[in-house]
Amino acid sequence: MRINRIFRLGIGAIAVALAATACGGGSDAGTATDHAREGKLTIGIKFDQPGLGFRDKDGAYQGYEVEIAKYVAGKLGVQSDKITFKEAPSAKRETMIMNGEVDFIVATYSITDGRKEKVDFAGPYFVAGQALLVKKENTEITGVESLVGNKKLCSVKGSTPAQNVKDNYAKDVQLVEVDNYSQCIEALRSGSVDAVTTDDIVLAGYSGQSPGELKLVGKLFTTERYGIGLKKGDQETRTKINDAIEAMIADGSWQKAFEETFGSLGTMTLTPPTVDRY
């Protein structure tokens, strides 16, 4: 009898421990599709990247990736007002997905083999490339080939451009790594770094904020395919998000969202990427 009681207590303790693990990330267990069926989603975006993922003074979310997140959520059956947006800094994205802190992430998140070991990606929904941003008056930095003479280059921890600088340009430049790109922009404005490097579209978002002050220089020197990051192995949600991205491209909302948030393209047209159902 006594043994039996201890045994039962033991099982109870295990059950409590398992429940605690499932809740470890602050959100309940279940896939993104389960959460969508319950009518709510938590989506990671950037909070400080103008035109892409931006939280304004009043706490409203704006940007191309906010629109993509809303469209995808809609296709999963979730209204915009039932989305909780969470800030997903570059270095924390894999962890946030693995911990279940977010259902998925739409945050200038390049699809890479390294990241695919920890998370899965739907998409791509956009293709960008690494570029350089300098002050308007800078004539020394004209492109990646001018990165000589120990210039100070700012980028963000956990990002592919910072890794690319470490891998390929470490002997020619000093890399200053910070937590988000707005800190890099501040450093550029104050003159404590010579350039900021990340994807062209991210840089264009900042330079568009203060025309005439900052400029993008040189050619793009990487290809960054933006995916929607989600829990590894959640094939059901990945297929649904891929379907949503294709629908968004096909019905014109993809291009419209870009023009309405990021800016008019004038006569230019955007080429939509092909979704990769790997």
Q: How far is the CB of 204 from ligand GLU (least distance, A)?
A: 13
Q: How far is the CB of 35 from ligand GLU (least distance, A)?
A: 24
Name which of 108 and 138 has its Cβ closer to ligand GLU: 108
SS3 content of the chain, % helix, strand, coil (to 5): 40, 25, 35
Residues at the contact surface with ligand GLU, assessed by CB under 6 A: 90, 107-110, 156, 159-161, 198-199, 202, 224
Q: How far is the CB of 64 from ligand GLU (least distance, A)?
A: 13
Cα(53)–Cα(64) distance, rounded to whole angstroms?
7
Q: How far is the CB of 229 from ligand GLU (least distance, A)?
A: 9
Name which of 205 and 272 has its Cβ closer to ligand GLU: 205
Contact 70, 253 (CB under 8 A): no
Amino acid at 46: K
Residue of 201, 276, 199 lying closest to 241 (CA atoms): 276
| 130-135 β-sheet, strand order | 173-178, 151-156, 195-199, 130-135, 214-217
Amino acid at 187: A
In this structure, what are the phi and psi dihedrals at residue 229, rounded to the nearest 5 degrees?
A: -80, 135
Q: How far is the CB of 63 from ligand GLU (least distance, A)?
A: 13
Name which of 30 and 129 has its Cβ closer to ligand GLU: 129
Name which of 33 and 160 has its Cβ closer to ligand GLU: 160
Contact 123, 245 (CB under 8 A): yes
Name which of 159 and 261 has its Cβ closer to ligand GLU: 159
